[in-house]
Amino acid sequence: MNNSITIPAGAVMSEGRLGNGTNYIVYVDGSGEVNVCAAYTRKGNSITICTRYVRRLCGSADDFEKLGEAAIKDTAYGAYMDGAAQGR
C-alpha cells in the first residue's frame, strides 16, 4: 500500500462494517488521538493502514466512549470516500 503506516494490533479500539461492505477499524495513534481507517491489512500482530483512508474521529479514548455508532460510521464512510477520491 502506498502512503501507509504500521500500527500494533493492540491499538485497535473497535471494528465495524459499512453498508457498502467496507470494513473499518478505529484505532488510537501515538499521540492519543482516535482515528478511523477504511483500508488496512493485518499481518500477525500489526496492521498496515493506508493513510489516504484515515480520518480523525476524536481527541481521546474517553471521547470515543461518548460517541454513538452513527457518528463513528459517518466518519468511517468519510474516510472511505476520501481515499476513493485519491485512489489507492
Residues 3-47 have pLDDT tens digits of 899 999 999 999 999 999 999 999 999 999 999 999 999 999 999
**pTM of the shown model:** 0.91
DSSP for 38-61, written as a single string: SSEEEETTEEEEEGGGEEEEESSH
Q: Over the range 45-72, which residues count as b (16 or more CB within 10 Å of their CB) and which as e?
A: eebebbebbbbebbeeeeebeebeeeeb
Segments making up each domain of the chain, as ranges: 4-86
Q: How far apart are CA 34 and CA 1, in angstroms?
A: 21
Please list the residues that pair with 7 across neighbouring strands. 47
